[in-house]
């Protein structure tokens, strides 16, 4: 039964991965060698992966926090502007 569940889970995750790709997927696929299946590593070691992500996030926040915050707010402002303009069908903002 456990083997069946694993097969079903891997089938579902493969379908979901084929349907959409995120920016993180593209970045990791570009950075890591082709032999490394990072999705399997995340599935096999979720706690270690979460710890590594937390450490990396903390480091990025401490070293590049102001730049990341500025980029995120700029992106959010541009997205709101685009949404408003699209809603009205013309350039309002």
Cα–Cα dist 4/1, whole Å: 5
Q: Classify 88 as helix, strand or coil.
A: helix
pTM of the model: 0.51
* pLDDT, tens digit, 9 for 90 and up, residues 16-52: 545 567 887 888 888 888 888 888 999 999 999 999 9
Q: Which long-range contacts (CB under 8 A, 24 or more apart) does 10-15 make?
A: 13/39, 13/43
What DSSP string runs through 6-63? HHHHHHHHHHHHHH---HHHHHHHHHS-TT--HHHHHHH-HHHHHHHHHHHHHHHHHH
């Amino acid at each position: 039964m456990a083997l069946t569940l694993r097969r079903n889970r891997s089938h579902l995750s493969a379908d979901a991965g084929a349907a959409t790709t995120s920016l993180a997927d593209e970045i990791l696929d570009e950075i890591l060698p082709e032999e490394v299946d990072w999705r399997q590593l995340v599935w096999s070691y979720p706690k270690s992966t979460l710890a590594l992500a937390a450490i990396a996030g903390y480091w990025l926040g401490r070293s590049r926090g102001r730049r990341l915050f500025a980029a995120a707010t700029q992106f959010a402002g541009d997205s709101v502007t685009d949404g408003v303009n699209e809603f009205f069908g013309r350039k309002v903002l």
